[in-house]
Amino acid sequence: MPGGQAMAASAAEVPFRGEAGTASLGRYLDACATAPPAPEVLIAMAEAGERAWANPSSLHGPGLAAADCLERSRWRMAELLDCRPEQLIFCSGGTEAIHAALLGTAAGLEPGRLVITAVEHPATLAAADQLRRRGWEIAPLAVDRRGRVRLELLEALLTPPTRLVSVIWGQSEVGTLQPIEAIGARCRAAGVLFHVDAVQVVGHGPLAFSALPVDLLSFTAHKLQGPRGIGALLVQPGVSLRPLIGGVQEGGRRGGTEAVVLAAGFARALELAEARRGASGGRDCLAGRRDHLWQLLRTMPGLRLSGADPEEPGARLPHHLSLLVSSEAGTPLSGKGLVQALWREGFAVGSGSACSSGGGAQLPQGAPSPVLEAMGYAPAEAASGLRISLGPWVSGEELDRFPAALERSRRQQAERAGAG
Dihedral (Cα; 21, 13, 320, 413), 10-degree rounding:
-30
pLDDT in tens, 340-349: 999 999 999 9
* Residue 52 within any structural domain of the chain: no
pLDDT mean over 262-274: 98
When pLDDT is averaged across residues 59-73 and rounded to a whole number, the result is 97
pLDDT of amino acid 10: 45
Q: Does residue 37 lie within any of the structural domains?
A: no
| Other Cβ atoms within 10 Å of 360 Cβ, number | 5
CATH (domain of 248)? 3.40.640.10
Pick the residue with more confidence: 336 or 361?
A: 336
Domain match, 350 and 389 both: yes
% of the chain residues with pLDDT over 90: 85
195 and 112 housed in the same domain: yes
Q: Cα angle vertex 178, ends 374, 89, to 5°?
A: 110
Q: Does some domain include residue 347? A: yes
Q: Which structural domain, as residue segments, surrounds residue 397? A: 7-28+285-417
Number of alpha carbons in the 13 Å side-chain half-sphere of residue 365: 8
Q: Given a cut of 50, is residue 7 above it in pLDDT?
A: no
Average of per-residue pLDDT across 78-83: 98
Does 254 share its domain with 299? no
Find the angle CA(136)-CA(142)-CA(144) to the nearest 5 degrees: 165
- Percent of the chain surpassing pLDDT 70: 90
- pLDDT on residue 6: 37
Q: What integer best gives the mean pLDDT of the chain? A: 91
User: How high is the pLDDT of residue 418?
Assistant: 77
Would you state the pLDDT for residue 98? Answer: 98
Inside any domain, residue 317: yes
Answer whether 0.85 is exceeded by the pTM: yes
Q: Which of 10-14, 58-62, 416-420 has the lowest mean pLDDT?
A: 10-14
291 shares a domain with 222: no
Q: Using 50, 70 and 90 to split pLDDT, how confident is the model at 16?
A: low
Q: Looking at the structure, do residues 102 and 249 belong to the same domain, yes or no?
A: yes
In this predicted structure, what is the pLDDT of residue 12? 47
Per-residue pLDDT averaged across 185-201, rounded?
98
Helices marked H in 147-285: 154-157, 180-190, 249-252, 260-279
Read off the pLDDT band of 360 (50, 70, 90).
very low
**Residue 32 bears catalytic tag:** no
pLDDT tens track for 141-153: 999 999 999 999 9
295 and 249 assigned to the same domain:
no
Instruction: Indicate the SS3 state at residue 264.
Output: helix
Which pLDDT value is given to residue 202?
97
Q: What would the pLDDT profile of 271-319 be if each residue is shown by its tens digit? A: 999 999 999 888 899 999 999 999 999 999 999 999 999 999 999 999 9
Query: Which pLDDT score, from 0 to 100, does residue 102 have?
Result: 98
> Does the residue 333 lie in any domain?
yes
* Residue 51 maps to a domain: no
Q: Are residues 115 and 234 in the same domain?
A: yes
**184 and 290 assigned to the same domain:** no
In CATH, what number is assigned to the domain containing residue 322? 3.90.1150.10
* Residue 4 banded pLDDT, cuts 50, 70, 90: very low
Q: What is the per-residue pLDDT for 247?
A: 83
Mean pLDDT over 3-12 rounds to: 41
Q: What is the pLDDT of residue 416?
A: 86
pLDDT band at 417; cut points 50, 70, 90:
confident
246 and 313 together in one domain: no
Classify residue 61: in a domain, yes or no.
no
Co-location of 23 and 94 in the same domain = no
How far apart, in whole angstroms, are the C-alpha atoms of residue 410 and residue 414? Answer: 6
Does residue 280 sit within a domain? no
Total of domains in the chain: 2
Region 77-101 average pLDDT: 97
Cα 371 to Cα 115, 142, 147, 387, distances in angstroms: 16, 11, 8, 13
22 pLDDT higher than 70: no
Same domain, 225 and 110: yes
Q: Which of 69, 83, 187, 355 is catalytic?
A: 355
**Mean predicted confidence (pLDDT) in 54-78:** 97
Per the model's pLDDT, the better-predicted residue between 125 and 14 turns out to be 125
> Among 43-47, 296-300, 301-305, 355-359, whose mean pLDDT is lowest?
355-359
Q: Both 98 and 183 in a single domain?
A: yes
